[in-house]
Structures are given as structure tokens and as C-alpha cells.
Amino acid sequence: MPILRRTLLALALALAPWAPLPALAHDATIGDIQVTQPWSRAAGVNGTGAGFLTIRNTGTQPDRLLSATSAVARNVELHTHVRDGEVMRMREATGGIPIPPGGTVTLQPGGFHVMLIGLKEALAAGSEVPLTLRFERAGEAQVMLHVGAAGARGPAHQH
């Protein structure tokens, strides 16, 4: 039965792609800024993707997320959601995203997020894509976004 056992193992790996793997460091710490739980959602080539993550400022000075870039997107913007009558609309977060001293800001569906515009390749569930964040004080931080299912509301796993 070795073939069947291998098939079952392959199936288990396919169903839980990260679980059997050792924990990898996809978070980043740069200066007083800690970036954790970077994740994204499956999206098609030439479409639009989103990046979500948690930023903690352990310092005593305010910082600000100014911009982001990614090899997988032609353009990357920082977005927020604003109420427009009955609906919430996305809008570019002009001026960046402030990270107060001692504060934690979570980029998540329905709030602040990183918009990946013009995807050069599809974001496949189970893969990970690079994202570079540029902070006013701390400088640049590199993270890997774990790509979850298309409609995911949160990160697929915890570290």
C-alpha cells in the first residue's frame, strides 16, 4: 500500500499546505516597527489584489507607512475605506497610514489595506508574494504575504 499512503500524504499536504512545514519568518522588524501576519487573497492575472498585515510601533516616536511596492503588481497604493452615503468605498490613503507610538494598526478587509493594482501574475492560494513597505522613520521592511482563498476574511494561519 505504499502508493496509496503516498497519495494520502500528498492529499493531506494539498489540504493543509502550510501545516507540515517548519515555521518560516515572513514577519519583519525594522527599527521600532514590527510587521506581523502579512496575508493576501487569491486573485487573477491583470486583476487587483489586496495586502493585509498588522503594524506595531514599539517606539516613542510616531511613524507612518508611506508607500509599498511589490514585484507582482504594476502599481501599489495604500487604501482606506470611507463611508459614502449607504456604501463604503475604497479611497487612496493620501498622506500614508499613521502608526502612533506604542500603537498597533491592522490593515484588514473593510479598513486600511495595500492595493496591488495590475497583477503581473495570478495570486494563487497557498503561495506567497513579496511586499516592500516604506516607513517614514523606520525605513523599508520586506514581508511575504501568505495568499489565502479568494474570499478569505483573515489570515489562513497563525504563527
Q: How far is the CB of 105 from Cu ion (least distance, A)?
A: 16
Minimum distance between the CB of residue 80 and Cu ion, rounded to whole angstroms?
A: 8
Please report the beta strands in the chain, taking only residues with DSSP state E, as ranges in sequence order.
Answer: 28-30, 33-41, 48-57, 63-69, 73-84, 87-92, 97-99, 104-107, 113-119, 128-135, 139-148
Kindly tell me which of 53 and 115 has the beta carbon lying closer to Cu ion: 115
In the complex with Cu ion, the residue whose CB is nearer, 35 or 76, is 76
The smaller minimum CB distance to Cu ion, of residues 90 and 156, is found at: 90
Nearest residue to Cu ion, by Cβ distance, number only: 79
> Which cell goes with 47?
486583476
Which residues contact Cu ion (rule: CB under 5 A)? 79, 90, 115
Q: What is the nearest approach in angstroms of Cu ion to the Cβ of residue 81?
A: 8
How far, in Å, are 2, 66, 114, 141 from residue 97 at the CA level? Answer: 54, 7, 10, 15
